[in-house]
A and B are shown apart, each in its own frame.
Chain A
Amino acid sequence: MSHAAFPDAAALAQFVCHEARLIDEKRFDEWYELFSDDGCYWIPLTRGQPPQETFTSISREDKLLLKVRIERLRHPHAYSQQQPSFCQHVLQQPLVESIDAQHNLCVLRTPYLYVETQLDTQIVLSGVAWHHLRMQGDALRIVLKKVELLNCDAALPAIQLFP
């Protein structure tokens, strides 16, 4: 399948910022569309965790599970969201780690803080996002968004949106 070349580093970084913004603004349908059909949103449970699914993850969502999560947030009986949660990603400059035109894969690394709030309760998480991107036609798509939480091994409270 033919596809355009990767855009420059500034445009790639902008894509990552846009992706975070869509979550923060709860534009989840648009966010969902950023993922390729085989896309995956992954929060490992341990540092340096291998990709095998024989290890538990904090989150590991294919598009079906992302859809379930997004649809549930809108469900009138999503009781834990009766009082809705909001979140904000505060990103450090996304940097291009590698571009592999031959395999149509580009990787960006973005350290960030994530704040999630629900009325009087606020949690702050720190993490590094690894965006594995691919060109699909002339659009960038997320093949993998891997979120390495700094305190992935901590006893964590409920995380209801998308760090």
Chain B
Amino acid sequence: MSAPPDRMNLPRYRGQPQALRALVRPDSVHRNVYVDPEVFELEMEQLWRNTWIYVGHDSQVPNAGDYFSTRLGREPVILLRGADGEVRVLFNRCAHKGTRLVSAVHGRCEGGLLRCPYHGWTYRLDGTLRTVPLRAGYEATGFDNSEAAQGLRAVTAVNYRGFVFARPAPQGIGFEEFFGESLSSIDNMVERSPEGRLEVAGGVLRYLHDCNWKLFVENLNDAMHPMVAHESSAGTAKRLWDGQPPGAPVPMVIEQFTPFVNGYDFMDRMGLKIFDNGHSYTGVNFSIHSKYAQVGEYEKRMAAAYGEERAQRILGEARHNTVYYPSLTIKGAIQAIRVVRPLAVDRTLIESWTFRLAGAPDELLQRTATYTRLINSPTSVVGHDDLHCYRAIQEGLAAGGSEWVSLHRNYHGGEGVGLTGIYGATNEVSMRGQFRAWSRFMEAQPAPQPAEPPPPARPAPTPSR
């Protein structure tokens, strides 16, 4: 029975933390986390502002004045290289009337200035206001003490080995505390370059998913779906190749497709590592990327750069997907990342970016580009069945009978304390961990406790009038 009309538009979750908390149980979640527009609004206001969201890679803005524009949740931002060489994240909003300052995805600031297309206000590359036409009109108006006079607002951001993350909320958890040891997956991806450096290369695939963003994120560490959902694609590739004589050179596409239909045992033994705050990766022991053909010249360059032993250690890690909750998933072994940009409760843009390993032969980038095309393109036969399942969940959840989504697989009551550790990869603990983080960051974050007592208060300024 539907709610009576006078109750229909009342907020059910806004300002009601208990109702929000009740959506997540240790072993299951209420369907409204995926389908309720109000919950989505609150996610954009809280979860996607209180956590560290991936913005872009600093190689996208190599020179002073270069920018990349994108959105963090609902908020338009610019990733901008300053005159000092530093990369900043600024809200893409003129301090005057709120006009979005830059519209191109990538560009360069003419004359080292950002200029508003509406009234011509200009800003330096650090966001400070430089000029306003007919400035005299602002004399004695109180403008100089206004928010507008402070120029473009910067977002708290950290550039970690080229990967730029930002936390839109002015206060909240620190970068290191939020990601902790999970950053080792980025470390491994960077160290796969003989020069220890990545460059965005090969283009970006932009794929619209008509489903809730969390269904995509959860799937990245879901080792129970490939052999079912991908039977028709990867299974067909495997079958078509099966007739080949042993020893025949295996095409890259076969090498990349066929592990998707490995059995439950393989998938489970791959291993799953859980960190705090929703981060995790599959492929602790090995992964579907482990058996790719070796590229001799690359291995030689790696050994020269790092020494034989360390190079082997770096390349021996074949982590499958690392989830940097909520906005980013990376595949270090393939140098491909997927960036999650939620658009609406049932609409998500997935951007797939690829990287060149600086100093590595082109063959590696070709492998990366091939993989991302096969798996992440809007034409991908693997992706079609994934997306089909996400959409089917989105629609199936409307069904009555049960309002709960089960996350029971390998759940044991003892998870009450902490989840961090290593599990079999078929465990649904990664999703339970994500929802634990979800609950935490859906609430407004307290101001950090100062480590030292605050400095004595200054005398109050004399009122000007």
A interface, CB within 8 angstroms of B: 43, 45-46, 49, 52-60, 62, 64-65, 67-69, 71-72, 75-81, 153-160
Kindly list chain B residues whose C-beta atoms are within 8 Å of the C-beta of A45. 203-205
Which one, A56, A72, A79, A159, contacts B203 given CB within 8 A? Answer: A56
Greatest chain B CB density within 10 A among A62, A68, A155 is at A68
Of B251, B253, B352, B365, the contact of A54 (CB 8 Å cutoff) = B365
- B208 with A156: CB separation less than 8 A: yes
Given A77-B231, A79-B229, A79-B389, check contact A156 B373 (CB 8 Å).
no
Interface pair B205/A56, CB less than 8 Å apart: yes
| A71 and B236 contact, Cβ closer than 8 Å, known pairs A45-B205, A58-B205 | yes
Q: Residue B366 contacts which of A53, A68, A156 (CB distance < 8 angstroms)?
A: A53
Residue among A58, A69, A71, A78 making CB contact with B378, cutoff 8 Å: A58
| Chain A residues within 8 Å of B392, by CB | 79
- Is there an interface contact between A80 and B387, defined as CB atoms closer than 8 Å? yes
Chain A residue with minimal CB distance to B201? A54
Q: Is A80 a contact of B388 with CB atoms below 8 Å?
A: yes
Roughly how many angstroms separate A151 CA and B458 CA in the complex, as a whole number?
58
Q: Which of A46, A59, A67, A69 is within 8 Å of B377, CB to CB?
A: A59
29 contacts between A and B (CB under 8 A): A45-B203, A45-B205, A49-B203, A52-B366, A53-B366, A54-B202, A54-B366, A55-B369, A56-B204, A58-B205, A58-B373, A58-B378, A60-B373, A64-B253, A65-B253, A72-B233, A76-B232, A77-B235, A78-B385, A79-B232, A80-B384, A80-B385, A153-B206, A156-B206, A157-B207, A157-B210, A158-B383, A160-B379, A160-B384
Query: Shortest 8 CB-CB distances between A and B: which pairs?
Result: A80-B388, A75-B232, A78-B232, A80-B384, A155-B206, A156-B378, A54-B365, A56-B369
Least distance between A50 CB and chain B CB atoms (Å): 11
**B residues less than 8 Å from A81 (CB atoms):** 384
List the B side residues contacting A80 at CB < 8 Å.
384-385, 387-388
- B residues within 8 Å of A by Cβ? 201-208, 210, 228-229, 231-233, 235-237, 239-240, 251, 253-254, 257, 349, 352, 354, 356, 362, 365-366, 369-370, 372-373, 377-379, 381, 383-385, 387-389, 392
Most buried by B among A46, A77, A159: A77
Contacts of A65 in B (CB 8 A): 253
Nearest Cβ on chain B to A114's Cβ, whole angstroms: 12
Sample of 13 more A-B contacts, CB < 8 Å, known A56-B369, A56-B377, A68-B236: A55-B369, A56-B372, A59-B379, A62-B253, A64-B253, A65-B253, A69-B381, A71-B239, A71-B240, A79-B229, A79-B392, A157-B210, A158-B384
Contact A155 B349 (CB under 8 A): yes
B373 near A57 (CB under 8 angstroms)?
yes
Query: How close is A119's CB to chain B, nearest CB, in angstroms?
Result: 12
A57→B349 CA distance, assembly (Å): 18
Whether A157 contacts B378 by the Cβ 8 Å rule is yes
What residue of chain B has the Cβ atom nearest to residue A160's Cβ? B384
Least CB separation from B252: chain A residue: A53
Is there an interface contact between B207 and A156, defined as CB atoms closer than 8 Å?
A: yes
Residues in B neighbouring A71, C-beta threshold 8 A? 236, 239-240
C-alpha spacing A65/B370, complex, angstroms? 12
**Chain A residue with Cβ nearest B231:** A77
Query: Which residues on the A side are within 8 Å of B235 (C-beta)?
Result: 75, 77
In the assembly, what is the distance between CA of A153 and CA of B203, in Å? 9
Measured CB to CB, the closest approach of chain B to A144, in angstroms, equals 16
| Bound CA–CA A54/B357 (angstroms) | 12
Q: Looking at chain A's contact residues, is the secondary structure mostly helix, strand, loop, or mixed?
A: loop
Q: How far is it, in angstroms, between the C-alpha of A67 and the C-alpha of B356 when the chains are bound? A: 30
B201: shortest Cβ distance to chain A, in Å?
Answer: 7
A69 and B230 CA atoms in complex are apart in Å by: 12
Residues of chain A with a CB closer than 8 A to B372's CB:
56
**Smallest CB–CB gap between A158 and chain B, Å?**
6
Judging by beta carbons under 8 Å apart, are A54 and B206 in contact? no
Instruction: List the A residue with the shortest CB-CB distance to B349.
Output: A155
**Closest-CB distance, A143 to chain B (whole angstroms):** 19
From B237, which residue of chain A is reached at the shortest CB distance?
A: A68
Considering the complex, give the chain A residue whose CB is closest to the CB of B105. A153
Chain A residues within 8 Å of B208, by CB: 155-157
Q: Which residues of B contact A54 (CB under 8 A)?
A: 201-202, 356, 362, 365-366, 369
Cα separation A138 to B210 with both chains bound (whole Å): 47
Closest to A163 in B: B379
Q: Known contacts A79-B229, A80-B385, A156-B207: does B202 contact A59 (CB below 8 Å)?
A: no
Task: Contact check, A154 vs B206: say whether CB atoms are below 8 A apart.
Answer: yes
Contact between chains at B370 and A53 (CB < 8 Å): yes
Inter-chain contact B381/A68, CB cutoff 8 Å: yes
Q: Which residues of A contact B362 (CB under 8 A)?
A: 52, 54
Given A79-B232, A80-B384, the answer on whether A68 and B257 have CB atoms closer than 8 Å is yes
Report if A55-B202 is in contact (Cβ < 8 Å); known contacts: A79-B389, A155-B349.
yes
Residues from chain B with Cβ under 8 Å of A156 in the complex: 206-208, 378
Contacts known (A56-B369, A64-B253, A155-B206); A79 close to B377, Cβ less than 8 A: no
Name the residue on A nearest B353 (C-beta).
A56
B81 to chain A, nearest CB (A): 23
Q: Are A43 and B379 in contact (CB under 8 A)?
A: yes
**Across the interface, do A67 and B205 meet the contact criterion of CB distance under 8 Å?**
no
Interface centre among B202, B362, B370, B377 (most CB of A within 10 A): B377
**What chain A residues lie within 8 Å of B207 (beta carbons)?**
155-158
How far is A56 from B228 in the complex, measured between Cα atoms in Å?
A: 27
A68-B356 Cα distance, complex, nearest whole Å: 28
Q: Which residue of A lies closest to B241 (CB)?
A: A64
CB distance from B235 to the nearest CB of A (A): 8
B202 / chain A contacts, CB cutoff of 8 Å: 54-56
Residues in chain B near residue A56, CB distance under 8 A: 202-205, 352, 354, 369, 372-373, 377
